Structure 1
Amino acid sequence: MAPILEINNLFKNYGSVEILKDINVAIEQGDFLVLVGPSGCGKSTLLNCIAGLEPITSGNMAIGGQDMTNVSPKDRDIAMVFQSYALYPTMTVAKNITFGMKVRGIDPATQAEKLAYVAQQLQIEPLLNRKPGQLSGGQRQRVAMGRALVRDPKLFLFDEPLSNLDAKLRVEMRTEIKALHQRLGASMVYVTHDQIEAMTLATKIVVMKGGVIQQIGTPAEIYNRPANLFVADFMGSPAMNLIPAKAKANGNDMQIEIARNDGGPIVLTDTRNMDLPENVILGVRPEDIVDSALARAGDTQEAECVIDIVEPAGADTFAVMQLGGKHVTARLHAETTATAGVAQRLAFDLGKVSYFEPDTGLRLN
């Protein structure tokens, strides 16, 4: 079966400025693709190219196995949900949702049936006779989604749909969008700058920077095996610790030396990764540095570390220390005895670490 969306060698220029550079992405029917990256990385431009709202400079694109490179937006069988909701203020919720069907000449009985189904899916039945001005932000976003859902398109496109909502509502709507995707089995492309949103919603993530794809993978692949320093730093909250270190071969293993401000270096022994250059950046997630008493069996190595700052955060306590000249965060248990200014025995999980080349930033293991 052909991918539901396939983009090959896509470039997008504005005059002499290259905005998107050699984009290649394919997703299968039912995938939830999230485009994520900092502001200005090109993710919304790419979404607009998929929608046909922006012409592409070169390359090609197929939706449902059909070439859509030069097809107008209305003939692409897509539905788009915008950040601004884009509702008609003088129309009721019901009319906003059915307007597109009315324009396409769909009979009133089918319109009513689809409206009832979508209103139930989104739990907006009580709102159908209200106008957008009488709705909260979350309710308006549901109506905008309803208008897309009645189309039953090949592809749903979402452009930062939750960025106008407050933090609590964003989390609720995120859960609803995920549940909706699971119920409908629809194919979705979703743009966000929020990496938590990307991790929770996606079946596949595209991380972008400066118009270039940095990595494509499942949330687990992106999180556990970032392709470069940018992805490692961008994905995850708190971010991955990136610590300058020295690697030295020692018989059948590698010794990883990390400078400490107080006393000699920490030395960790890695038995898995033998082929490392002398200078490396050691990447370790905060949850992979734990109190030694709580260390899981396996590939953990312990070291004494002087804690600079302790930050209680409910279920976790974050401890910050200086290693390799960098602030390093450990995610400890709420009941930890870690105290600022005091050395604490911590366990590093070497089964989970990443190594990066300092000059190119590329992953080594």
Structure 2
Amino acid sequence: MAPILEISKLRKSYGSTEILKDINVSIDKGDFLVLVGPSGCGKSTLLNCIAGLEPITGGSILIDGQDMTHVSPKDRNIAMVFQSYALYPTMSVAKNITFGMKVRGVDQATQDRKLREVAQQLQIEAYLNRRPGQLSGGQRQRVAMGRALVRDPKLFLFDEPLSNLDAKLRVEMRSEIKKLHHRLGASIVYVTHDQIEAMTLATKIVVMKGGVIQQIGTPQEIYNRPANLFVADFMGSPAMNLIPARVRGTQVEIDRPGAAPILLSDPKVAGLPENVILGLRPEDIAEAGYRAGSDVQQAACQIDLVEPAGADTYVVSTLGGKAVTARLHTETRAAPGESLDLAFDLGKVSYFEPDSGRRLN
């Protein structure tokens, strides 16, 4: 079976400025692909290229096996949900949802049936006679999604659809979108700068920086085995700790202020360059006694900062000249200025080359 979307060697330039550089991505039917990266990385431009709203400079775009590289947006059988909702303010919710079908000449009975179906799916039956100005942001976003759903497209494109909502509504709408994906088996390409959205929604993530794909993988692959320092730092909240260290045979040496360096034994470092960046997630650094196993090693660390966060408490120490965050249990008795034995789970560690940033192990 052909991929529902296949992008090959895509390039996009504005004059001499190259925005997208040799983009290669494919997804299967039913996949939820999230394009994620900082502002200006090219993710929205790539989405617009898929939609046909931006002509590409080179490469090709296939949708369901058909070459759509130079096909008009209206003939690509896609539906797009925008950040700004793009609703008609003078039309009712019902007319906003059915307007596209009316323009395409869909019969009234089909329009009515699809309107009922999506209104029930999105729980907006009570709002069908209202105008967009009478709705909340979350309700308007549901209407925009309903307008896309009635088309039965081969591909849904979402351009940062939740960024205008407050934090609570974002969580609610994220759940709605995920449930819709599971229920419909829809094929979705979704753009966001929010790595939490990417991790919770995606079946596959594309991390971008400067118009270049940094890594493609499942949320678990991206989180547990980041391809380089950029991905390690960008994906995760709090971010992965990236600690300058030195390799000494099968040991890793990490400087700490006012005391001898920490020495951690790890056979995986044998043969690595002398200078490395050790990457470890905050949840993989625990208070001694709360983490056990053959890969867990302890070291005394001075606490600089304690941040209670409800179910967790974050403590910050200085290691390798960097602020290092550990995610501890909520009842920890750590206090700034004190020494605390921390347990490092070296089974979860990543090593990176300091200059290129590439993953070493």
> TM-score, length-normalised on structure 1?
0.98
Is 1:330 paired with 2:326?
A: yes
Cα distance in 2, alignment partners of residues 298 and 78 from structure 1? 51
Cα distance in 1, alignment partners of residues 270 and 182 from structure 2? 42
Instruction: Give the aligned residue type for 1:332.
Output: L
Partner residue, 2:172? 172
Partner residue, 1:14? 14
Q: Tell me the C-alpha RMSD between the 2 structures.
A: 0.6
Three-state SS of the structure 1 residue aligned to 2:34 is strand
Instruction: Give the aligned residue type for 2:290.
Output: L
Instruction: Give the aligned residue type for 1:333.
Output: H
The answer to whether the 8 Å contact 2:314/2:328 transfers is yes
Q: How does 1:271-286 map to 2 (within 5 A)?
A: 271-286=267-282
CA-to-aligned-CA distance 1:58-107 (integer Å, 9 cap, x gap): 00010000000000000000000000000001110000000000011011
Q: Percent identity among equivalent residues? A: 78
Partner residue, 2:57? 57
Deviation at 1:296? 3.0
Partner residue, 2:339? 343
Deviation at 1:273? 3.8
Partner residue, 2:266? 270
Partner residue, 2:47? 47
Is 1:219 paired with 2:210?
A: no
Partner residue, 1:38? 38
The answer to whether the 8 Å contact 2:247/2:269 transfers is no
Deviation at 1:155? 0.2
Partner residue, 1:84? 84
Partner residue, 2:315? 319
Cα distance in 2, alignment partners of residues 260 and 105 from structure 1? 71
Three-state SS of the structure 2 residue aligned to 1:96 is helix
Partner residue, 2:254? 258
The answer to whether the 8 Å contact 2:252/2:269 transfers is no
Partner residue, 1:290? 286
- Specify every segment of 5 or more residues in structure 2 that has no aligned partner in the other structure, as ranges: none
Three-state SS of the structure 1 residue aligned to 2:220 is helix
Instruction: Give the aligned residue type for 1:302.
Output: Q
Cα distance in 1, alignment partners of residues 272 and 52 from structure 2? 46
CA-to-aligned-CA distance 1:31-51 (integer Å, 9 cap, x gap): 000000000000000000000
Instruction: Give the aligned residue type for 1:167.
Output: A
Cα distance in 2, alignment partners of residues 348 and 337 from structure 1? 19
Deviation at 1:298? 3.4
Deviation at 1:274? 2.2
The answer to whether the 8 Å contact 2:251/2:269 transfers is no
Partner residue, 2:98? 98
Cα distance in 2, alignment partners of residues 351 and 273 from structure 1? 12
Q: How does 1:131-150 map to 2 (within 5 A)?
A: 131-150=131-150
Instruction: Give the aligned residue type for 2:328.
Output: L
Deviation at 1:339? 1.4
Runs of 4+ in 1 over 6 A off after TM superposition: none
The answer to whether the 8 Å contact 2:315/2:326 transfers is yes
Three-state SS of the structure 2 residue aligned to 1:151 is coil
> TM-score, length-normalised on structure 2?
0.99
The answer to whether the 8 Å contact 2:83/2:163 transfers is yes
Three-state SS of the structure 2 residue aligned to 1:259 is strand
Cα distance in 2, alignment partners of residues 53 and 193 from structure 1? 20
CA-to-aligned-CA distance 1:106-160 (integer Å, 9 cap, x gap): 1100110000000000000000000001000000000000000000100000000
Deviation at 1:248? 1.3
- Specify every segment of 5 or more residues in structure 1 that has no aligned partner in the other structure, as ranges: none
The answer to whether the 8 Å contact 2:352/2:359 transfers is yes
Three-state SS of the structure 1 residue aligned to 2:332 is coil
Cα distance in 2, alignment partners of residues 246 and 235 from structure 1? 25
Is 1:364 paired with 2:356?
A: no
Three-state SS of the structure 2 residue aligned to 1:245 is strand
Deviation at 1:272? 3.1
Instruction: Give the aligned residue type for 2:273.
Output: P
CA-to-aligned-CA distance 1:161-201 (integer Å, 9 cap, x gap): 00000011001100110111010000000000000000000
Three-state SS of the structure 2 residue aligned to 1:264 is strand
Instruction: Give the aligned residue type for 2:302.
Output: V
Q: How does 1:121-140 map to 2 (within 5 A)?
A: 121-140=121-140
Instruction: Give the aligned residue type for 1:176.
Output: E
User: How many pairs are equivalent?
Assistant: 361
Cα distance in 1, alignment partners of residues 98 and 254 from structure 2? 62
Cα distance in 1, alignment partners of residues 63 and 270 from structure 2? 44
Deviates more, 1:263-272 or 1:322-331: 263-272
Deviation at 1:293? 1.1
Three-state SS of the structure 1 residue aligned to 2:279 is strand
Is 1:109 paired with 2:105?
A: no
